[in-house]
Amino acid sequence: MKPYSNKIKIMKVSAIIIAAIILLGTGVQAPARAASKWYQYYEKGLEYHKNGQWQRALYEFKASASLEFEEHEKKRTYGMHFVKYFPHRYMADCYYNLGDSQNASQELELSLAFQPSKEGNDLKAKIGAGPALVTQTPPIVAPSFDDKKHQEEMEKLQKEKDALAKMKEDERAQQEKKIAQLEEKLRKEQENRKDKYYSTYDKVPTGALTYDPNKVTQVGSRLSVAVMKFSHSGEARDASDDVLNELVTSLYSLGGRFNIIEREKMEKIVEEQMRSQSGLIDEKTAIKAGKVAGVDAVLVGNISTSADGSVKIWGRLINTETGKLITAQDAYTPSASLDDISRACLDLSIKIYNDLPLVEGYVINIEPNETILLDLGRDKHMKPDMQCVVYREGEKIKHPITGEIAYVKKIYLGEAVLTQIQETSSEATVIIKGEGEKIGVGDKVVIK
């Protein structure tokens, strides 16, 4: 019986190997994506930096530093593989090239404190020599308040002040009160504007965005999105290519809220593996392509053009892990001109942005079957199939020079997708587990 038993074992092993080859050949993916490591973000940052894509490089270096803060000449990634790890120095260079000398100096100071280097000293000299010629749109900043209406008010105020000197004493008090009221109005106007949030995209109207991504803790990367080509119907010209290009541009430019996957990368995946015979991409195909690309969500939709030239655009953001809808928005434009398409796509992007707020909270209970309870609910505008990163605060790192706390280490524990939403709480299913420590009550979460 023993030879026969061995033969059975050999046949079983052979069957497993054949099945594995078939799965690999068909591109079947594991149910959950592997958690990204800090060095994967760092390597992406280096690639973007090499190509002069300062803003995209900055996002990746921030994601890397959120998981591994300290720089080192010889940092171990895995096994016996080591890299030179200088995210703060590269962030300083990105800020410098984006025209932000203040943040560039701060990051460089931190880098030199961790690990003095010739490259760091050279960059310090370059920053000290003056700002670079900005080759990309600068990061989020409050705009200078010199718009036409405000400037007119300022000129009016100056005229009132000039006239004041020529007035009689009995009129002086009344005029001083008037000027004080105008000054207070302008001061409040300026303060209120500081509370608004701005995109790096100069077409975004003031106050259109309801939150600032840079003010929310980042652990790893933000929500990664692939924009797929929208289907088209109607009598007017096919505007799908224009819509695709404009959506990629506007979503990418909204202050780093989304990590937009390059159009070329998605087109290559679709063309090589999944494009249907009709040349169009249906929803199921788009989700599958998104999973192959490793993105969190895909943006799909359709465009309807009327005989009068008007265009209606519908967009749906779908979670690639669950295949379910995260948000659906629409936009309208009276014509299919490129300018009007651009405005409509920006409107659609802003609606998606505002419907997916970045919120922080806590794990309040651990349930069976990889379920956790969070203190985030409808009151924080949460909705099913939004994703979150779970982390734990660790060691507090002091600045080597000033002695102040410069950073609090974040221990990546995994990712979860929201399933059941109540008024002040929600259930979430863990879809990616971090290496090492388990998720526990009191750990922190941030919407991805």
**pLDDT by position in tens, the chain (length 448):** 444 444 444 444 444 444 444 333 444 343 344 456 888 889 989 999 998 888 888 888 988 988 888 888 888 887 788 889 999 999 999 989 888 888 898 889 888 888 888 898 899 888 887 666 555 544 443 344 445 566 677 777 777 776 766 666 667 677 777 777 777 776 666 555 544 555 556 678 878 899 988 889 989 889 999 999 898 887 767 888 889 999 998 998 887 899 998 877 887 877 766 554 445 567 888 888 888 888 999 999 999 988 888 899 999 999 998 999 999 999 999 988 888 999 999 999 999 999 999 999 999 999 998 999 999 999 999 999 999 999 999 888 888 788 888 888 899 999 999 999 999 999 999 999 888 789 999 999 999 9
CATH number of 213-355, picked from 2.40.37.10, 3.30.365.10, 1.10.540.10, 3.40.50.10070 = 3.40.50.10070
Can you point out the beta strands (E) in 320-425? 325-333, 360-367, 371-374, 387-398, 405-421
Distance CA 255, CA 312 (A): 26
Please give the single-letter amino acid code of residue 53.
Answer: Q
Domain ranges of the chain: 38-128, 148-194, 213-355, 360-447
Write the burial class of residue 87 (CB in 10 Å: 0-12 exposed, 13-18 middle, 19+ buried): buried
Distance CA 19, CA 17 (A): 5
Distance CA 60, CA 343 (A): 28
- Nearest one of 230, 334, 239 to 280, comparing CA atoms: 230
8 φ/ψ sector (left φ>0, alpha ψ -120 to 50, else beta) = alpha
How many CA atoms lie less than 13 Å away from 326 in the CB half-sphere?
31
Q: The dihedral of CA 395, 396, 398, 399: what is its sign?
A: positive
Fold observed for domain 360-447: Thrombin, subunit H (2.40.10)
Can you point out the beta strands (E) in 28-162? 72-78, 81-85
Fold observed for domain 38-128: 1.25.40
Distance of CA 376 to the CA centre of its chain: 20
Q: How far is CA 66 from CA 38, 72, 106, 391, in A?
A: 8, 15, 16, 11
| 162: helix, strand or coil | helix
Distance of CA 53 to the CA centre of its chain: 15
